[in-house]
Amino acid sequence: MKILVLGGDGYLGWPTALHLSALGHHVTVVDNLVRREYDAEMGVDSLVPIAPLEERVARWDDVSRRRIDVRIGNLTDAAFTYAVVAECAPDAIVHFGEQRSAPYSMIDREHAVYTQVNNVVGTLNLMYAIAEINPDIHLVKLGTMGEYGYPDIDIEEGFIEITHKGRTDVLPYPKQPGSFYHLSKVHDSANIMFACRVWGLRSTDLNQGIVYGQSTPESDLDPVLATRFDYDGVFGTVLNRFCVQAVMGHPLTVYGAGGQTRGMLNIRDTLACVTLALETPAAPGEFRVFNQFTESFSVREMAQMVKRVSSKPVQIAEGLHNPRVEHEEHYFHAANTKLLDLGLEPHLLTDEVIAGMLELVERHKDRVDVDAIAPTVQWRASASTLKTANASSDASFLVV
């Protein structure tokens, strides 16, 4: 297939592009390189050094003898989006091209507006380009399990059968997103579902859990092909943070009660899920939803796992102030059978996997900035704090 990978310079987009290219598909990476600018803005960096995109692509050509094309531009630019879709004539589009950090979206008004405009408008432009150029293109869009929130009932895959006053219907599962980023993904889902129903587009929405790991068969071929490992308070994920803290002799920071439970999956399973979705595309007019995770753990459980595996003494700091507004102990039981039915064979979070992550951190520990780990964004900012932050021309985030 000819496949566009939007956001193909990012944490998941880059290894996805490599994986699809290795399978023999003709891959074009589309990116505006803004993820690298976020690091400069926040004063942080990936634990693992990341080569420039042009160097990555050239090295992949050398290693694999397969070519990945590149287009640099912004999806919020409708002319650019239309041109890319028309010129590349893809059979499928894998859409990672959005601002993906909940804390970043909660910094202040400016960052909330940026996140929603970037994500929602970019996806709208893409939908229109597909509809007007080739409605048969299969759109595989990365969603998030965070769209659902944490209801006190089982979470289904996208839709739920409801009986109300004697009548029954299958309706979109209610959404309770926890940040302006998660809200943007809910808007995306609703917009794409509408376009499938009205325009006959075909789309798969991958509601993904938290991804861990940095090693894939393709990225392991050469250090230049490595993908990101984020651990900071804005873009880092919880398991990455715990591994970095364990190696650096810092207590593992469990915010609140630690009962926040998350769906998790290995980065290799992300690649497998995207591939399965591409190989078995949605039908014309179909909007289907796959819950893309393989296991679920509480934050407290993950801290205990890292402590058990670490070769160094590890302390767990529990009950710390939680910067987010969320239930800290809650019911979580989500369906995730559709990808398994398509043949997904999960890589589970074993002691060996955690040991590998700890070893990776150990190799790059000279690049760790411990000060970057602490949360710098408050969901509960007061009105006066928000006013002060938005009035200041150089305010980039709210400090706890």
Sketch the domain layout of the chain as residue ranges: 2-391
Tens of pLDDT, residue by residue over 284-314, are: 999 999 999 999 999 999 999 999 999 999 9
Please name the amino acid found at residue 389. A
Pure H helices in the chain:
13-22, 34-42, 53-64, 78-88, 102-105, 109-116, 122-133, 180-199, 238-248, 267-279, 299-309, 338-341, 351-363, 383-391
Query: Backbone phi, then psi, for 72, in 5-degree steps?
Result: -105, 125
- The pLDDT assigned to 393 comes to 35
Count Cα neighbours of 124 within 13 Å in the Cβ-side half-sphere.
12
- The pLDDT assigned to 400 comes to 24
Angle between helix 299-309 and 238-248 (nearest 10): 40
With residue 318 as reference, give the H or E element that holds it.
Answer: strand 316-320
Mean pLDDT value of segment 134-161: 98
Q: Which tokens go with 94? A: 């894998």
- The pLDDT assigned to 385 comes to 52
- The pLDDT assigned to 387 comes to 56
Looking at the chain, the whole-number percentage of residues with pLDDT higher than 70 is 95
Q: How many residues would you count in the chain?
A: 400
261-266 and 295-298 as β-strands: parallel, antiparallel, unpaired? Answer: antiparallel
DSSP state for residue 258 in the 8-state scheme: S
Q: Is the pLDDT of residue 390 over 60?
A: no
- The pLDDT assigned to 392 comes to 40
| Largest separation between any pair of C-alpha atoms in the chain | 64
Active site residues: 144, 181, 185
- The pLDDT assigned to 395 comes to 35
Mean pLDDT value of segment 133-140: 98
- The pLDDT assigned to 386 comes to 52
- The pLDDT assigned to 396 comes to 33
Find out whether 11 and 216 touch, Cβ atoms under 8 Å. Answer: no
Mean pLDDT, the chain, whole residue set? 95
Q: Is the pLDDT of residue 391 over 90?
A: no
Q: Is the pLDDT of residue 254 over 80?
A: yes
Mean pLDDT value of segment 235-243: 97
DSSP state for residue 372 in the 8-state scheme: G
Mean pLDDT value of segment 101-130: 98
Q: Is the pLDDT of residue 118 over 60?
A: yes
Mean pLDDT value of segment 60-75: 98
Please name the amino acid found at residue 102. A
Q: What is each CA distance from 39 to 191, 213, 235, 266, in whole angstroms?
A: 30, 20, 9, 24
For residues 89 and 136, give the distance between their C-alpha atoms in angstroms, rounded to a whole number. Answer: 11
Helix (H, G, I), strand (E, B) or coil at 155: strand
2-391 to CATH, choices 3.40.50.2300, 3.40.50.720, 3.30.70.1150, 1.10.287.130: 3.40.50.720
pTM of the model as a whole: 0.95
Residue located via tokens 């998790």: 264
